[in-house]
Copies of this chain bind each other. A is one copy, B any other.
Amino acid sequence: MPTPAPAKDPADTSLRKQVYDSLREALTAGRFAPGQKVTFRYVAGALGVSLTPVREALRRLVAEGAFEMHPNRSVRVPLMTRNKVMELRDMRMALEGLAAGKAALLATRDQIAGIRRAAREIIAARSRGDSITDRQKVREFHFALYAAAGQPMLLRVIEGLWLQTGPYMNLLYPDFISSPRGPAGRVKIIEALQARDAASARREIENDIRRALSYVADLADEAGNIAPARPTAGKRRRNTPTGTTAFELQAH
């Protein structure tokens, strides 16, 4: 039973961790609107826990940049301006390029096989228009690659950057993924791994990230407004749980 989530620490059953995972999952799944205010008591109510674990989970996500806390001490989902996306793009190019280069030098046969399998599953999902598993497998492909670099601290930082870009990667669908060069880049990466060609692996990853994030950046204007859905102009009266975007809770 391969769980899609990294499941980094299966032994941690603390409520704090559960809240953290729930929020993180909801964030990457785009279940929070950019700019939306998130109160401690709302999350606590939605998940049926007290404030204590919610505070710690939310604060950690703030420290990781997944949420941001304003001087008015209110927590919101960050708005992405074009400049911010470009900044994340450059950081990701630098670090994921570094990881890909290391991976090319160190990847075992089994690891390469896993990466190739993820690449195949991306093509399969994409061919049948399943954008959900598409995104999931893209993530799997990348992190299987970076894990092969054998640098856990680097992996953590990269995960943090993905968490920040996560909500906005939905914007790549369905238009961007129709681009012809998508699969070709991954093929080249796998070839680079087999050839132990670090420079090539690095270059291909950098190109991949540059293309995708530049595309996203062009969709974000300076105000942080993004094309799809969410007019958001209208004021919300009370943040009754029905008014805001659903943060579907799993009962406890």
* Known A63-B64, A91-B95, A94-B95: A9·B71 in contact at CB below 8 Å: yes
Q: Indicate the size class of the contact surface on chain A.
A: 20 to 34
Task: Tell me the number of copies of this protein.
Answer: 2
In Å, the complex CA distance between A157 and B87 comes to: 12
Q: What does the 1/0 interface line of A32-76 toward B look like (CB < 8 Å)? A: 000000000000000000000001100110011100000100000
By beta carbon, the residue of chain B nearest A9 is B71
Q: Which residues of B contact A64 (CB under 8 A)?
A: 63
Does the CB pair A91–B56 fall under 8 Å? no
Q: What does the 1/0 interface line of A172-202 toward B look like (CB < 8 Å)? A: 0000000000000000000000000000000
By beta carbon, the residue of chain B nearest A91 is B154
Q: What's the minimum C-beta distance from A102 to chain B, rounded to whole angstroms?
A: 8
Give the residue among A11, A88, A90, A98 with the most B Cβ atoms within 10 A: A90
Q: Which residues of B contact A153 (CB under 8 A)?
A: 65, 84, 87-88, 91, 164
Q: What's the minimum C-beta distance from A203 to chain B, rounded to whole angstroms?
A: 15
In Å, the complex CA distance between A87 and B154 comes to: 7
The residues of A with any CB-CB pair to B shorter than 8 Å are: 9, 11-12, 55-56, 59-60, 63-65, 71, 84, 87-88, 90-91, 94-95, 97-98, 102, 151-154, 156-157, 160, 164
